[in-house]
Amino acid sequence: MEKANGLLWEVTFWEFIFVTVCLGGGAAYLTGRAVARTWQSYAELVVDIVLLTLATRFIHFSLFNGTLTSVYYFVVDLIVLMAIALLANRLTRSRQMGRQYGFLYKRRSFLGWEQREGGGA
C-alpha cells in the first residue's frame, strides 16, 4: 500500500492507527491517568502530551518515512493524543472525587461528579 496523504494521516491509515492511536494513545491514556492520580494541573498534562507528540512524530519519521518537522501532522497528532489524555484524566478524577471524597461528592455520570445534599459548606 502506497502512502496516501490524507487529512488526518501522512503515512498510511494503518500506520496512523498503530502509531498514533494505539501506541501514542495508550501512552496518552496512562499519562492522563497519572496526572489525575497525582493531583497535578492541566498545564502539566499539556507539557507531557506535547513531549509525547514529539516522540510519536519521531516514530512516524524513523519507522514509516513520515516527515519529522510537519507542523500540520504534529497538530493532528497533538489533538488526538490530547483528547485521549483529557478523557483519561477526567475519568480518573471523577472516580477519585467519588471514592476519596464520598462524604462531599457523588459521581453524577461517567465523567462528572456533584456535591452531596448537606455534604459540605
Domain ranges of the chain: 13-115
Q: What residues contact residue 77 under an 8 Å CB cut-off, 6+ apart?
A: 20, 24, 53, 56, 57, 60
pLDDT over 70, % of the chain:
93
What does the pLDDT look like over 15-74, one tens digit per residue?
A: 999 999 999 999 999 999 999 999 999 999 999 999 999 999 999 999 988 888 889 999
The rounded distance, in Å, linking the Cα atoms of 74 and 118 is 48
pLDDT over 90, % of the chain:
57
